[in-house]
Structure 1
Amino acid sequence: MKVLLTGSSGQVGYELARSLQGIGEVVAVDRGVMDLSNLDQVRDVIRSVKPQLIVNPAAYTAVDEAESKPELCYRINAEAPAVMAEEAKALGAALVHYSTDYVFDGVASSPRVEDDTVGPVNLYGASKLAGEQAIEAAGIPHLIFRTSWVYGMRGKNFLLTMLRLAKERDELRVVADQHGAPTWSRTVADVTAQVLSQAHAGGREWWVQNSGIYHLSAQGQTTWHEFTQAIVEEAGLHCKVLPISSADYPTAAQRPMHSVMSSEKLMTRFCHLPDWKDALHLCMR
């Protein structure tokens, strides 16, 4: 099987380039080869590669900047996935796409399940939701994995930012009233590979039975403040971490206050997901 992997230099894409090696021939492309803001280029690359499977972790993820760049954000997060779905349909290919906990409004405190009502509170979340809807509307074999608070040891992410600041400062003030589940980029990639190995063995019938949206995030929940405390402790640093409210740290984009998702559907059908603390420990080791 030939697999086209987008965003191969990103957090999740880099890990997928490793995890997907057992699935088939992986053609990994980064933004220099396939820029999702250039829809003609997206079409050209897919038509050139002719994959049986497209895996798309590439996205516009600058949540605050998205508020002032709506056209670019929507082109990358909504229009490009729509083009991928169209091209996949023409090829008879399947599509794996990644979305976000930010499709929810964060009002309910209980973990969100896949069929719960969506209602993004920022433009980034709205653009990712539009991408989901475009893929579903195409009527192709697909998996949409919603994940949350993704971090890793490369790229730009909360973990690396907090490690840097904790080494530079004696004290950090971090938001303590937003709840979610930090998810290691390698967890996302390895779980994807496990699911796709089952899909490969199951053939076309597998896709008929299992296409749809799945929540793929670490088990448990925490706050940005508690996450930072855990990072500092794992790193053996002595920076003090103080809790503040979201009101004390205003941002251009509103964040959902509770974006914890239930991954029971994925775990029941496919494989286990680790607790966020265990994954963080492995990542930092």
Structure 2
Amino acid sequence: MNNILVTGSSGQLGNEIIELSKEFPANYFFTDRESLDITDKEQLSTYIQKNNIDTIINCAAYTAVDKAESDVENANKVNHLATKYLAELAKANNIKLIHVSTDYVFDGKNFKPYTEDDNVSPNGVYGKTKLDGEIALQEINPKNSIIIRTSWVYSSYGANFVKTMLRLGKEKESLGVIFDQVGTPTYAKDLAKTILEILPKIDNESVEIYHYSNEGVLSWYDFAKEIMRMAKLDCQINPIETKEYPTPATRPHYSLLNKSKIKQTFNINIPYWKDSLDECLQKLGERR
């Protein structure tokens, strides 16, 4: 039976993996920053050796996109250096490694869905540190390692756009939501299930990159409208432009991911975003 280390298990994706783990038997080691400091290579190495880890799912990330602009050192430690250490230990110990990355490695200026081979050019610190982590992993190149880039993650766990909209939809009569940023949400449960399903099938000499989000295309405005409709909240959603809502970090205007590679390689079906949103709202008890 596999000994699987799941880092960042207190986050959205980590929590969904915890919930699904009983359907995919293995010895799981769920850690967060309190129980394992992945930015400390020595501590990480000791933990891996002590527990005979043979698989790592790295869900840990510094995801505070705006804060990262002024907290470069910590963002770099978690997103770049920790990934480098995981890659080095994976190579040294013949460990299978799944690393989760982001659409923010792209500048958002594309006009068609990004493939894994498209040029990367992050706009801010978060995207740059995540890309540095990807590059370190590719350069170290441990066998049976993959990178999964995803976008607009939400879940019944943690803080995210869906839960924020539900809260504001109950508090306010109207809300302005950005309409000129386009992509696809990812229900963390769907991504977690995909990771656990493809795990036994991963068999590659060099690091492979895959893209994963739910199916479909929409703006944040469309997303908010559908949340209000499904939850039957009487809150008017008004479209606004990105420039009307300035933030420290620049968001990609277009971050649609082409998912053909992961679907074909592992023969998986990806749920449509509305179906997944429906499921999440039901779980939260907010579907009306």
TM-score range relative to shorter protein: over 0.9
1:241-275 deviations in whole A, cap 9, x for unaligned? 00000000000000110011100111111111111
Output the CA distance in 1 between the equivalents of 2:43 and 2:236. 48
Matched, 1:31 2:28: no
Q: How far apart are 1:7 and its partner, in Å?
A: 1.1
Q: How far apart are 1:229 and its partner, in Å?
A: 0.6
Q: How far apart are 1:6 and its partner, in Å?
A: 0.7
Q: How far apart are 1:37 and its partner, in Å?
A: 4.1
Matched, 1:11 2:12: yes
State the match for 1:135 in structure 2.
137
Alpha-carbon contact 1:23-1:196 (below 8 Å) kept: no
CA-atom RMSD, angstroms? 1.4
Matches within 5 A, 1:83-162: 83-140=85-142, 141-162=144-165
Output the CA distance in 2 between the equivalents of 1:47 and 1:251. 43
Output the CA distance in 1 between the equivalents of 2:17 and 2:140. 24
Does the residue aligned with 2:204 lie in a helix, a strand or coil? helix
State the match for 2:49 in structure 1.
47
State the match for 1:216 in structure 2.
212
Output the CA distance in 2 between the equivalents of 1:76 and 1:49. 22
Match of 2:271 among 262, 271, 274: 274
State the match for 1:185 in structure 2.
188
Q: How far apart are 1:43 and its partner, in Å?
A: 3.1
TM-score normalised to structure 2 length: 0.93
Output the CA distance in 1 between the equivalents of 2:71 and 2:42. 20
Output the CA distance in 1 between the equivalents of 2:49 and 2:200. 24
Range that drifts further, 11-20 or 154-163: 11-20
Q: How far apart are 1:122 and its partner, in Å?
A: 1.0
Q: How far apart are 1:162 and its partner, in Å?
A: 0.9
Output the CA distance in 2 between the equivalents of 1:50 and 1:74. 28
Q: Which amino acid aligns with 2:5?
A: L
Q: How far apart are 1:154 and its partner, in Å?
A: 1.3
Q: How far apart are 1:282 and its partner, in Å?
A: 1.3
Match of 1:207 among 204, 210, 222: 204
Alpha-carbon contact 1:166-1:239 (below 8 Å) kept: yes
Match of 2:200 among 177, 187, 197: 197
State the match for 1:245 in structure 2.
241
Output the CA distance in 2 between the equivalents of 1:13 and 1:263. 22
Output the CA distance in 1 between the equivalents of 2:39 and 2:230. 38
Q: Which amino acid aligns with 1:185?
A: A
Does the residue aligned with 1:207 lie in a helix, a strand or coil? coil
Alpha-carbon contact 2:5-2:30 (below 8 Å) kept: yes
Output the CA distance in 2 between the equivalents of 1:60 and 1:108. 25
Output the CA distance in 1 between the equivalents of 2:217 and 2:38. 32
Matched, 1:167 2:170: yes
Alpha-carbon contact 2:62-2:78 (below 8 Å) kept: yes
Percent identity over the alignment?
40
Q: How far apart are 1:75 and its partner, in Å?
A: 0.4
Matches within 5 A, 1:226-265: 226-265=222-261
State the match for 1:176 in structure 2.
179
Range that drifts further, 68-77 or 87-96: 87-96
